[in-house]
Amino acid sequence: MSAGSRNTEPWGGFDDNLIQGGSSAVIDMENMDDTSGSSFEDVGEMHQRMKEEEEVSAEAAAAEDDGADDGEFLGMKGLKGQLGRQVADEVWQAGKRQASKAFNLYANIDILRPYFDVEPSQVRSRLMESMIPVRMISFPQKVAGELYGPLMLVFTLVAILLHGMKTSGTVIREGTLMGTAIGTCFGYWLGVSSFIYFLAYLVNAQITMLQMLSLLGYGLFGHCVVLLVTYNIHFHLLFYAMWLLIGGLSTLRMVAVLLSRTVGQTPRLLLCGMLALLHMSFLLYLHFSYHQILEGLLDSLEGHNMAPIQRVVRDVPEVTLNATVRSLGGMLMAQ
């Protein structure tokens, strides 16, 4: 808090600002504490000079007089005096330092930065690879440790789920459509990843949490494709075929990676069986829980208030195309 004190005496000496008066408004409190005996006359002189200053700057002093009655017990002007201001300033600086340290420690998004260091071509190739099961399981397969692709895939799944729920007029009794969709998708991704990681930890498989998150996230690509198609083309047989084919391929890929990183028959069976079961049943669940096959589906897009129909298991005799994605469906089929 000292404004340019360049003295070497232990009691602080005289700063120029005490004498000149107009240049600085700060008095260094640290130097004032010393009441050693060698400077009585000097202290008296100092006080005389300060009195002169007071006469010269009467207007500024008038502002200070407001706090003259407060804090008399310490002989200072209390909270409004110079000491109070300096203390408050110190407290503020210390608090600010603490807060920014805590913020940098906990809210630092740079912790996540290496996981988002990807190029679009890498993401594309990883999406394609997630559908191709690897042949070699004798040595550990490389798993990319990135979070951008999985995160985007989870959000895409949320969007597709929302589309499916809205189109079929699903009524959620407690909660909202959006909350349900987000909760389901993120819950699956994080929950099943943690569960499989826990099992992997138990059987000593060589996979980290980040790799598991990444693997399962990319495995959702197959789910996205299947749901996008079957929420719009309501054909049971088509769904089952795609469930087996595309769902099966992405499950096989994940299973192969896990197999390559686990030793022992029983651990392999446990881990891979669990993952396959959960992954395939999630796709089934998504299709059948959030999507009801309604006759006259087009009515729901025309703005009529429709009472939701109870879900009944029936064979759809013909293919019902969703009007909104008729062209989209055509494009998808063409690809």
Partner 1 sequence: MTSAEEASRPFAGLSDVSIPDIPVEGDISLPVASSARDDEFSTLDEPVKETILRDLRAVANKFVHVLYPKRSSVLLRDWDLWGPLLLCVTLALLLQGGAADSNDQGGPQFAEVFVIIWFGSIIITLNSKLLGGTLSFFQSLCVLGYCIMPLTVAMVVCRIVLYTASGKVSFAVRLVVVTASFGWSTFASTAFLADSQPSNRRGLVVYPVFLFYFVIGWMILTFSP
Please report, as residue ranges, which positions from 165 to 224 form the binding site for partner 1 (by CB under 8 A).
166-167, 169, 171-173, 175-179
Q: Please identify which residue in 1, 16, 38, 44 interacts with partner 1, judged by CB under 8 A.
A: 44
Q: Which stretch binds partner 1 (CB under 8 A): 79-87, 204-212, 234-242, 264-272?
A: 79-87
- The residues near 50 (Cβ < 8 Å, ≥ 6 apart) are 18
Question: Is-contact 2 31, C-beta < 8 A?
Answer: yes
Task: Determine, following the binding rule CB under 8 A, whether residue 324 of this chain makes contact with partner 1.
Answer: yes
Q: Please identify which residue in 156, 238, 280, 329 interacts with partner 1, judged by CB under 8 A.
A: 156
Closest C-alpha among 235, 247, 262, 207 to residue 322: 235
Task: Determine, following the binding rule CB under 8 A, whether residue 152 of this chain makes contact with partner 1.
Answer: yes
Q: In 31-66, which positions are buried (b, 16+ CB within 10 angstroms) versus exposed (e)?
A: beeeeeeebeeeeeeeeeeeeebeeeeeeeeeeeee
Q: Which stretch binds partner 1 (CB under 8 A): 73-81, 191-199, 214-222, 250-258?
A: 73-81
Q: Please identify which residue in 5, 32, 70, 249 interacts with partner 1, judged by CB under 8 A.
A: 32
Minimum gap (Å) between residue 169 Cβ and partner 1: 5
- Residue 76 or 210: which CB sits closer to partner 1? 76
DSSP for 129-168 reads HTTS--S--SSPPP----SHHHHHHHHHHHHHHHHHHHHT
Sign of CA dihedral 47, 49, 50, 55: positive
Q: Please identify which residue in 1, 3, 19, 61 interacts with partner 1, judged by CB under 8 A.
A: 61
Task: Determine, following the binding rule CB under 8 A, whether residue 294 of this chain makes contact with partner 1.
Answer: no
Q: Which stretch binds partner 1 (CB under 8 A): 136-144, 149-157, 201-209, 261-269?
A: 149-157
Task: Determine, following the binding rule CB under 8 A, whether residue 314 of this chain makes contact with partner 1.
Answer: no
- Residue 141 or 320: which CB sits closer to partner 1? 320
Task: Determine, following the binding rule CB under 8 A, whether residue 327 of this chain makes contact with partner 1.
Answer: no
User: Which three-class secondary structure state does DSSP give residue 87?
Assistant: helix
Tokens 């502002």 correspond to what residue? Answer: 63
Task: Determine, following the binding rule CB under 8 A, whether residue 119 of this chain makes contact with partner 1.
Answer: yes
Q: Which stretch binds partner 1 (CB under 8 A): 94-102, 145-153, 205-213, 241-249?
A: 145-153
Q: What is the dihedral of CA 130, 131, 136, 138, to 10 degrees?
A: 50
Task: Determine, following the binding rule CB under 8 A, whether residue 73 of this chain makes contact with partner 1.
Answer: no
Tokens 């006359």 correspond to what residue? Answer: 41
| Amino acid identity at 160 | I
Task: Determine, following the binding rule CB under 8 A, whether residue 43 of this chain makes contact with partner 1.
Answer: yes
Give me the phi and psi of 233, to 5 degrees please: -115, 105
Task: Determine, following the binding rule CB under 8 A, whether residue 26 of this chain makes contact with partner 1.
Answer: yes
Task: Determine, following the binding rule CB under 8 A, whether residue 162 of this chain makes contact with partner 1.
Answer: yes
Give me the phi and psi of 2, to 5 degrees please: -80, 135
Q: Which stretch binds partner 1 (CB under 8 A): 17-25, 206-214, 257-265, 286-294?
A: 17-25
Site for partner 1, residues 83 to 102, rule: CB under 8 A: 83
Task: Determine, following the binding rule CB under 8 A, whether residue 1 of this chain makes contact with partner 1.
Answer: no
DSSP for 257-308 reads HHHHT--SHHHHHHHHHHHHHHHHHHHHHHHHHS----TTGGGGGTT---PP
Minimum gap (Å) between residue 211 Cβ and partner 1: 19
